[in-house]
Amino acid sequence: MEMPRTVRNSSWAFAAAAGIAAASALVVVLGQAHHGPALDRYLDFNAGDLAAEQFATDVGEILTVTLILALVTVVAGGVLAFVVRRPVAWARTIAWSTALVLALLVGTALLAGVDPVGATPGPDAEPAARLTYDLVPGWYPSVNAVVGLGLLIALGAAGFFVLRSSAADFYRAASKVEDPRWSSFVAERLDPDK
């Protein structure tokens, strides 16, 4: 059976999601590279303040979780880009359910972002506020949001295309039982004596 366009589109959408997730991983790695030295300055300034230490730890954990999620999405998207092209029933179920779970996780990661960290402090901001804003680069929240939105769109498209009714026949197993009425009907029609 020829692969329907919706299955092909789903495969491309999963590949796009893997590529966007790789870009997301790069963004997070760059954010973590900035976070390390900024964290030292922040903790030196706020020595002994347990709430400040917890806040800085939370920012680092959010970056780590976002990186892990991006890497999982790279692997899952890359694998599913090929799996959805196989005409087996389980491929469709795995594809849409994985797209849904990853989209929910990415959405949660975006909502749990590092705001207000990374924002630009005003000209009259106190040193503590400047160090808080500097825990990640100023561009990180905006770029992370744009990349995350692109990833949500790609995952949504991949799940949407694989769930289309035009893709259903591609994943449906062929019947192995022949209907005897059909074969007798065809035999009667093809019999030259009648």
In the numeric block, which tokens belong to residue 119? 């924002």
Counts for the chain of helices (H) and strands (E), in that order:
7, 0
3-state class percentages of the chain: helix first, strand second, coil last, to nearest 5? 75, 0, 25
Per-residue confidence (pLDDT) for residue 178, from 0 to 100 = 65
Cβ–Cβ under 8 Å, residues 34 and 136:
yes
DSSP H helices, 112-176, are 127-133, 140-163, 165-171
Which range, of 19-23, 73-77, 121-125, 144-148, averages the lowest pLDDT? Answer: 121-125
Question: Nearest to residue 42, comparing CAs of 156, 141, 130?
Answer: 130
Residue with tokens 């599913």: 80
Pick the residue with more confidence: 60 or 147? 147
For residue range 59-116, list pLDDT tens digits in order.
888 899 999 999 999 999 999 999 999 888 888 899 999 999 999 999 998 888 766 5
Count of structural domains within the chain = 1
For residue range 10-67, list pLDDT tens digits in order.
999 999 999 999 999 999 999 889 888 888 888 888 888 888 888 888 888 889 999 9
Span between the terminal Cα atoms of the chain, in Å: 34
Does the reported pTM lie above 0.85?
Answer: no
Cβ–Cβ under 8 Å, residues 13 and 111:
no
Question: Nearest to residue 150, comparing CAs of 58, 11, 7, 24?
Answer: 24
> Rounded distance, CA 91 to CA 157, Å?
16
Per-residue confidence (pLDDT) for residue 55, from 0 to 100 = 84
Confidence of residue 183 (pLDDT cuts 50, 70, 90): low
CA 19, 114, 60, 77: dihedral to nearest 10 degrees?
Answer: -20
Per-residue confidence (pLDDT) for residue 75, from 0 to 100 = 97
| Type of residue numbered 182 | W
Please check the confidence at residue 118 and state whether its pLDDT lies above 70.
Answer: no
Per-residue confidence (pLDDT) for residue 191, from 0 to 100 = 72
Please check the confidence at residue 149 and state whether its pLDDT lies above 90.
Answer: yes
Per-residue confidence (pLDDT) for residue 113, from 0 to 100 = 75
Cβ–Cβ under 8 Å, residues 155 and 99:
yes
